[in-house]
Amino acid sequence: MKYSTLSLKSMIKTRYPSFAFLLTAASITLAGTTSAQNISPPSGLDTVTIEQTRTIANELLGQLGQKLKSTMSAEGPEAAVSVCKEASPSIAKTLSAKHGAQMTRVGTRVRNPAMGTPNAWQKDALMQFEGRLAQGEAPATMEYWKVVNIDDGKRELHYAKAIMVQPICLSCHGAASEIPASLSEKIRLEYPQDQATGYSVGKLRGAVVVSKTLN
């Protein structure tokens, strides 16, 4: 399908070079249609699953945000590193087990490559989010939904919710000048491959991602 579209494109390009721009316009429209399908929950998905998926994603963000805030103000940012490192996977694990799903956080750039690197569909979701933000979509309600066929005739739900950079994130993910020296040293020692700095407020930092096998 993709292949034949491509060869048709190149054929038209060679024969009718002046129409090439029309093809470009057509592929943009097509790409827009594909992403539009992932904006809302698929029509076959039951409302309980939809609500549960939204709830656990919001709960992870809510619980983490609170813990981060309270630890930052009571003990300072260096102590709060452990919130991101330990509390995040432990909250995600509890919520995942409770709802028979797998949930984690991934980044557009990553501090912990083992935990935060997006797989293929998660990368797709992040790229879509960047595109939708550029088109002016409000980040607070931005979601990605897809149901895919997996082995044994089963289906799997893929869901992502955008995580945006807020002021509180900057002492650990901002520009080098915003990160206190001792904290920067701690991060460098614990995460020698860190890529997750240089962000500013309002940028896409990553996503909460949920996968769930459907019956």
Residue ranges in 144-173 that form contacts with ligand HEC under rule CB under 6 A:
163, 165-166, 168-169, 171-173
Q: Which one, 164 or 214, has the nearer CB to ligand HEC? A: 164
Q: Does 92 bind ligand HEC (CB under 6 A)?
A: no
Q: Does 125 bind ligand HEC (CB under 6 A)?
A: no
Q: Which one, 65 or 139, has the nearer CB to ligand HEC? A: 65
Torsion of CA 46, 49, 55, 57, to 10 degrees: -120
User: Count of alpha carbons within 13 Å of 154, Cβ hemisphere only?
Assistant: 10
Return d(Cα 133, Cα 120) in angstroms, integer.
20
* Binding region for ligand HEC (CB under 6 A) out of 19-27, 76-84, 94-102, 128-136: 76-84
Q: Does 45 bind ligand HEC (CB under 6 A)?
A: no
Helix/strand/coil for 23: helix
Return d(Cα 64, Cα 5) in angstroms, integer.
45
Q: Does 116 bind ligand HEC (CB under 6 A)?
A: yes
Q: Which one, 84 or 147, has the nearer CB to ligand HEC? A: 84
- Please give the structure tokens belonging to residue 160: 């992502």
